Amino acid sequence: MQIDEEQFKKFILEGGLVSKKDLDSAIKVAEAKKQKIGNILLSEGKISETDLKRTEAFVLGIPFVSLLNQKIDFSVLSLIPEPIARNDNIVAYTKSEHGLEVAMLDVDDLPEALRAENFASTHR
């Protein structure tokens, strides 16, 4: 799932996450290196990984969750097989009558997340 770069730039500027000067500099570097602006800002220490991921999720219209201090029940965690979880950096963290909630490190991995969630739902 691709992030709309224009929308991303707008949100990080309006949110005060980076200065216009830092953003303009990152845009030039990103174009030269053919990389994402967010990755350049992160590698240059201009934005935290949490702020980057939170902004990407917001732009895509998907929720951002931090599982840092959350206890995950093993029966839920094991709904996605370990090889898939490790390969796709995805984890199931909540199961309810509404479905399975999964978290992933990279929003670009959303198609893999859907595949893993589909696997988990068909192998309950």
- β-partners of residue 103 are 91
Q: What's the structural domain count of the chain?
A: 2
102, 92 in Cβ contact below 8 A? yes
| Percent with pLDDT over 90 in the chain | 47
Per DSSP (E only), the strands in the chain are 90-96, 99-104
Asked which of 16, 34, 60 is the last residue of a domain, the reply is 60
pLDDT score at 118:
59
- 39 with 16, same domain: the answer is yes
Q: Kindly report the pTM of this predicted structure.
A: 0.69
Q: Which pLDDT band, with edges at 50, 70 and 90, does 100 fall under?
A: confident
- Measured CA to CA, the distance from residue 91 to residue 103 in angstroms comes to 5
For the stretch 33-73, pLDDT in tens is: 999 999 999 999 999 998 998 998 888 888 888 888 889 99
Residues of the domain holding 94: 74-122
| 114 falls within a domain | yes
- 55 with 85, same domain: the answer is no
